[in-house]
Amino acid sequence: LEAKFGRAAHAMKAIGVIETLQFLDAQISKDELETLITTHTAQLAKRQTTFNKTQFQGVVRAPVEELFKKIEQFVTN
């Protein structure tokens, strides 16, 4: 990726890529690489969960069968 796009490309800022480049530059160890990727992935998941909670407040959560019944009622009324 680095040879084709260089380090400035937007995709090179993705989780895992940044850390891998640091590892390849001998800035971090393999253990640190794994820890950083895991930590950054968990942080992103937390941000996404928080975002989804604030953006989708009217969402109905139910088993699939119940959701189908609700949709059917909505469409037929």
Q: List the chain pLDDT tens, one digit each, 77 residues.
A: 888 888 887 888 899 999 999 999 999 999 999 999 999 999 999 999 999 888 877 787 889 999 999 899 989 97
Q: What is the CA radius of gyration of the chain?
A: 21
Per-residue H/E/C for 49-67: HHHHHHHCCCCCCCCHHHH
Among the listed residues 47, 49, 48, 39, the one whose alpha carbon sits nearest the alpha carbon of residue 15: 39
> How confident is the model at residue 5, as a pLDDT?
83
Q: Determine contact, residues 33/22, Cβ cutoff 8 Å.
A: yes
Taking the model in full, what pTM does it have?
Answer: 0.66
> How confident is the model at residue 62, as a pLDDT?
86
The gap between the terminal CA atoms of the chain, to the nearest Å, is 54
